Chain A
């Protein structure tokens, strides 16, 4: 888990330029998964069959069946309801990280690519150094020792993922810099800042959006790993990673107690990666058709 998934080589299916293809079935399914996750994150406990924290200590842990579709944990809490409630943590944290990383990455990438010179060298050297570090270990150690909890984990992950966006934006900026519209803007006497942030920026945005889906999957896995280890999230909170570790000992009594949050986590991450890869493909197809 040292780097967000790299972009898969786009299977170069030759398509007629200008014709929009319907997304393939896996991508449509992925979009459906994202929609479900978004609804659960928004409505959360309102659509859950039981209260996420409603305990029934007398009943204790039970397997799937009856009014509890996925059974209960050792405090008698409904697993399905807790998985639905956990969607909020699973969406909000990674979304914050992705937005922060995109912001930092876009600014640094534009400057590195457009201005160049020592700023480019500095930004890319720092990015190289960040790549080499195992992000999860750094977050575990810093959040564990220095403290700061969830917010600190989110902040550190932004600093780790930002350079990936920066490198990507730099590459696209270098391509854009040679195009006539940039020369035209420069001839008009527009400032460097204005050209970068008003004219080049919109052309960089699609790649950043596509990459943000891949970053989301990475951020989700990293945050869940932290809460699985009990770092950054309070015990008993409805978070998928935390649920998985809390319920690990119940695997014989109700396998769904640890499995369901894990499966939800993988489904969301796979869906993000599929949509991200597909968006990339669309972008490179568009580039080729031009």
Chain B
């Protein structure tokens, strides 16, 4: 696999994803016009309509130019990190997002580590101990995990570990690294459970398939230690479906932060999104959703590239999609 082919592959995927992002950005831009009321009314929000404010809004959101040109101006502003200002508070949307992004990134990262770090070993364990009590226990846990939404898991954890046992705080993000870990452990666990169940389920299914292959039996017969067979022979071949699930995991986590932040009263992006919806604050909403779209697209690109590193058989651009 030459560097040029890799570059060509990444270029093609990047082009496809940029196209997708362009479509999504147009949909997000259109939200302003889907909302009931004229754009001026939407942008004013609950503020009193003074001629000066109206004029400045018309100017800031380019309301005097034709629709498509307006989209183009909005997009070029967005690329320069200018997403307009909130219809509620008048603050710049990018700085509002900046204030909140830390908690959400920490929470989602923490949950991702938990979901993958525990899900892959659990799935491998269930596959190796197939049709035993261990396997049935793990499978049962995955059914509960897939069925339980993050806000229910959150309330149960809150009740057990914060209210009853008092081990963890029940709200707030904490300050400083150690304090933040302590504050965000319960939210991260609540957030991770659904993703953890998905990773475990997919790892188990993939490993069950791989462990039935002849080369695994031969490797064991040759006297290769089980641990080495599992990691080097079996897991590497099971990794492609697991990585496909990782894309879904990121989507689950980003959606889940909306629910978990609300359960644990955390000042993150999910809470900002819900506030924006309840206040009908369209510019703020557009900013948060655009950011989510970019993150999801970038994660998918990263996974596409990782595929080719894990499994060189994947012909660039043919079966990687």
A residues adjacent to B (C-beta < 8 A): 1-3, 5-6, 8-9, 11, 26, 132, 134, 136-137, 140-142, 144-147, 217, 221, 224-225, 228-231, 241, 244-245, 248, 251-252, 255, 258-259, 262-263, 265-266, 269-270, 272-274, 277
Identify which of B147-155, B223-231, B312-320 touches chain A. Answer: B147-155
B34, A145: Cβ atoms closer than 8 Å: yes
B: number of interface residues (CB 8 Å):
52
Complex interface: stretch among B56-64, B76-84, B273-281: B273-281
Q: Is the interface of A mostly helix, strand, loop or mixed?
A: helix
What residue in chain A is nearest B282 (Cβ atoms)?
Answer: A145
Q: Report whether A144 and B204 are in contact in the complex, using a CB–CB cutoff of 8 Å.
A: no
Q: Is B53 an interface position by the 8 A CB rule? A: no
- How near does chain A come to B286, taking the closest CB pair, in angstroms? 9
B292 partner, pick from A3, A5, A134, beta carbons under 8 A = A134
Does the CB pair A145–B146 fall under 8 Å?
Answer: no
Q: With A8-B201, A221-B149, A259-B155 known to touch, is A245 a contact of B262 (CB < 8 Å)? A: yes
Do A248 and B34 touch (CB < 8 A)?
A: no
Is the pair A255, B273 in contact by a Cβ cutoff of 8 Å? Answer: no
Supply 6 further A-B pairs (C-beta < 8 A) apart from A259-B156, A270-B144.
Answer: A1-B149, A221-B147, A225-B151, A228-B259, A231-B277, A272-B147
B258 touching A248 by the CB < 8 A rule?
Answer: no
Give Cα distance in the complex from A3 to B251, angstroms: 10
Residue B72 at the A interface, CB < 8 A? no
For this complex, 19 residue pairs linking A to B, each with C-beta atoms less than 8 Å apart, are A1-B149, A2-B248, A6-B201, A8-B142, A8-B143, A9-B204, A132-B20, A134-B251, A141-B277, A144-B280, A145-B35, A146-B34, A221-B149, A225-B151, A229-B259, A251-B158, A262-B152, A265-B152, A266-B144
Contact call B151/A251, Cβ cutoff below 8 A: no
Complex Cα spacing A134 to B34, Å = 20
The listed residue (A6, A224, A229, A262) touching B258 by CB distance below 8 A is A229
Answer yes or no: B296 CB below 8 A from chain A CBs: yes
**Is B308 interfacial (CB-CB < 8 Å)?**
no
Are B251 and A2 in contact, with the CB atoms below 8 A? Answer: yes
Contact B274 A140 (CB under 8 A): yes
In the complex where A9-B208, A141-B285, A277-B143 touch, is A225 in contact with B155 (Cβ < 8 A)? Answer: no
* Binary contact readout B240-280 vs A (1 if CB under 8 angstroms, 0 otherwise): 00000000100110111011001100000000011001101
Interface membership of B140, Cβ < 8 A: yes
Verify B255–A1 contact, CB threshold 8 A: yes
| Partner pick for A134 among B202, B254, B282, CB 8 A cutoff | B254
Q: Does B255 lie within 8 Å of A2, measured CB to CB?
A: yes
Q: Are A132 and B282 in contact (CB under 8 A)?
A: no
Residue in B35, B139, B147, B251 whose CB lies within 8 Å of A270: B147
Contact of A248 with B263 in the complex, beta carbons under 8 Å: yes
B159 & A224 in contact (Cβ 8 Å cutoff): no
Known: A132-B296, A274-B143. A11 touches B131 (CB 8 A): yes
In Å, the complex CA distance between A9 and B36 comes to 47
* Contact of B302 with A by CB under 8 A: no
Given contacts A259-B156, A259-B159, contact A269 B251 (CB under 8 A): no
- B205 and A228 within 8 A (CB): no
Whether the Cβ atoms of B155 and A147 lie closer than 8 Å is: no
Contacts of B254 in A (CB 8 A): 134, 137
- CA A2 to CA B194, docked complex, whole Å: 10
Looking at the complex, which one of B139, B150, B273 makes contact with A140 (CB distance below 8 Å)? Answer: B273
Question: In the complex the two chains form, what is the Cα distance from A274 to B67 in whole Å?
Answer: 50
Q: Least Cβ distance of A269 to chain B in Å?
A: 4
Cβ-neighbour of A137 out of B31, B142, B150, B289 (below 8 A): B289
Are B156 and A1 in contact, CB atoms less than 8 angstroms apart?
Answer: no
Contact, CB under 8 Å: A255 / B149: no
Contact (Cβ within 8 A) A225 B259:
yes
Nearest neighbor of A247 in chain B, beta-carbon distance: B155
* Residue B113 interfacial (CB < 8 Å): no
Say which residue of A6, A141, A251, A273 sits within 8 Å of B289 (CB atoms): A141
Q: Is the CB of A140 within 8 A of B35?
A: no
Q: How far, in angstroms, from A207 to B179 measured CA to CA in the complex?
A: 50
Within the complex, the shortest CB–CB distance from B196 to chain A, in Å, comes to 13
For residue B300, CB closer than 8 A to chain A, the reply is: yes
Contact between chains at B285 and A255 (CB < 8 Å): no
- Residues of A within 8 Å of B156, CB to CB, are 259, 262
Smallest CB separation, A272 vs chain B (Å): 8
- Of the candidates A6, A8, A144, A241, the one whose C-beta lies within 8 Å of that of B278 is A144
